[in-house]
Structure 1
Amino acid sequence: MDEGRSPPRDAYALVLDAIDAGLYRPGDRLVESELAERFGVSRTPIREALQRLETQGLLARDGRSLMVASLDHTELSDLYVVRGELEGLAARLAARHATPEEVQVLREMLEADRAIAGDPQALARANRRFHMQIHLASHNRFLMRQLDLVHRSMALLASTSLAAEGRAVGALDEHAAIVGAIEAGDGDAAEAALRQHISRAFMTRLKLDADRAG
């Protein structure tokens, strides 16, 4: 075995990460040859990755072309309903199972995130890390798999609700309430706080969409 050879790159993860990072946005067409050249892999794994992403609903077909899917109003609502249920359960389980070290990590994340409240894109990335830490603290791998699918679908949203005026500070205050309930071991309060957090994020997004439509 050639120990100097780098491991093969996962085409699926590369394309998914590019969508999540906003390199490809809803409505953008994905072309096999262009993706293969960008990521330095052959077209076969790219083709398989695109087929997998289409099956998961992250890509949509327009004739013979594939593009990053867009969510209509009903799909957006459905996504937030499922996210609220699953995230709430994760917070409840985290209140029961989180170690002191995991709670401390959440507290440190919260403090660090306050320093970037004025940068919506950076805060959006930090927000994903914060929620992922709660998922990990639930100590339920089956729930984490479902939440991973939900958060992949969140990549189909063209913008972050954290860009709305005042939303960043409000979201961080909501994060503080979630962490406080988890630290206190209060599953009911943790679930309620996280569900309310998701509900407020959804309302903010609806307002943003309405403003753009107007």
Structure 2
Amino acid sequence: MKPAPSDAYSLILEAIDMGIFKPGDRLVESDLAERFGVSRTPIREALQRLETQSLLARDGRSLIVASLDHNQRAELYVVRAELEGLAAGLAARHATPEEVAVLRDMVEQDRALIGRPDLMARANRRFHKQIHLASHNRFLVQQLDLVHRSMALMATTSLAAEGRGEVAIAEHDAIVAAIEANDATAAHDALKAHISKAFVTRLKLESGEVTAIL
């Protein structure tokens, strides 16, 4: 079954998020239309939307997946840490027992993915999205969606660093424990610290100070 034309944006965004299209890759309307089985019109509209959101950049007449320099990455992590911390604090106040149970199940299931950074990265996005939703603040969720779209422009995941998977799961466990305890301050601080440590790990990975899992 062919995807609906309205899905073109989501399909391209997901491909960027999954690393199928990497920073610097050139995106061609005809190639994308053939790949996703849709006409060129929705592809063109999706590319224009992604360019408006700064996820694509112009290289002459071509559109390429945008990349982030060091300062942009640092700025993005600052914003992400603040917004994610706010979401965790609100989740500690407003999450339903069922939402907390889902978060707890995610942590336990994700332990089996340690050593598989590609799968862990996907699970990590689901975990953070669940916290966003548990905040019960639609405007915060919208802003975090924008931040996470920009995170897709990172060429690698910090979870690729050797040993980071185990540490990240322990950090997720602490975040969920604080949410379970309805401790907004602890949840806020735990998630901010988690994002900060992820950024430090990414910097070390990029500098070669830590080894990546192949």
Shorter-chain TM-score: what band? over 0.9
Q: For the residues of structure 1 that align with 2:129 and 2:198, how far apart are their CA atoms?
A: 17
Residue 81 of structure 2 corresponds to which residue in structure 1?
A: 84
TM-score with structure 2 setting the length:
0.94
**Secondary structure of the equivalent of 1:78?**
helix
- Aligned partner of 2:118 among 118, 121, 139: 121
Moved more, 203-212 or 92-101: 203-212
Stretches of 4+ aligned residues off by more than 2 angstroms: 4-9
Unaligned runs of 5+ in 2: 210-214
Q: Using a 3 Å threshold, how does the CA distance of structure 1 residues 170 and 66 change in structure 2: closer, same or farther?
A: same
Q: Using a 3 Å threshold, how does the CA distance of structure 1 residues 79 and 105 change in structure 2: closer, same or farther?
A: same
AA at the equivalent of 1:69: A
Q: For the residues of structure 2 that align with 1:204 and 1:172, how far apart are their CA atoms?
A: 14
**Secondary structure of the equivalent of 1:60?**
strand
Number of residues of Structure 1 aligned to a counterpart in Structure 2: 209
Q: For the residues of structure 1 that align with 2:48 and 2:8, how far apart are their CA atoms?
A: 11
TM-score with structure 1 setting the length:
0.94
AA at the equivalent of 2:66: A
- Aligned partner of 2:204 among 180, 204, 207: 207
Residue 19 of structure 2 corresponds to which residue in structure 1?
A: 22
Q: For the residues of structure 2 that align with 1:211 and 1:161, how far apart are their CA atoms?
A: 12
Q: For the residues of structure 1 that align with 2:50 and 2:101, how far apart are their CA atoms?
A: 36
Matched, 1:138 2:135: yes
Q: Using a 3 Å threshold, how does the CA distance of structure 1 residues 94 and 170 change in structure 2: closer, same or farther?
A: same
- Aligned partner of 2:159 among 151, 156, 162: 162
Residue 152 of structure 1 corresponds to which residue in structure 2?
A: 149
> What displacement does 1:164 show?
0.6
Q: How does 1:9-48 map to 2 (within 5 A)?
A: 9-48=6-45
> What displacement does 1:45 show?
1.2
> What displacement does 1:8 show?
4.1
> What displacement does 1:5 show?
9.6
Native 8 Å contact 1:9 1:41 kept in 2: no
Q: For the residues of structure 2 that align with 1:198 and 1:57, how far apart are their CA atoms?
A: 23
AA at the equivalent of 1:190: A
AA at the equivalent of 1:168: G
> What displacement does 1:156 show?
0.6
Deviations 1:97-127 (A, max 9, x none): 0011111111110000011112111111100
- Aligned partner of 1:195 among 192, 195, 206: 192
Native 8 Å contact 2:23 2:65 kept in 1: yes
> What displacement does 1:63 show?
0.5
**Secondary structure of the equivalent of 1:67?**
strand
Matched, 1:53 2:27: no
Q: Using a 3 Å threshold, how does the CA distance of structure 1 residues 22 and 99 change in structure 2: closer, same or farther?
A: same
AA at the equivalent of 1:144: V
Q: How does 1:85-100 map to 2 (within 5 A)?
A: 85-100=82-97
Q: Using a 3 Å threshold, how does the CA distance of structure 1 residues 82 and 27 change in structure 2: closer, same or farther?
A: same
> What displacement does 1:9 show?
4.5
Quote the sequence identity (%): 73
Native 8 Å contact 2:4 2:38 kept in 1: no
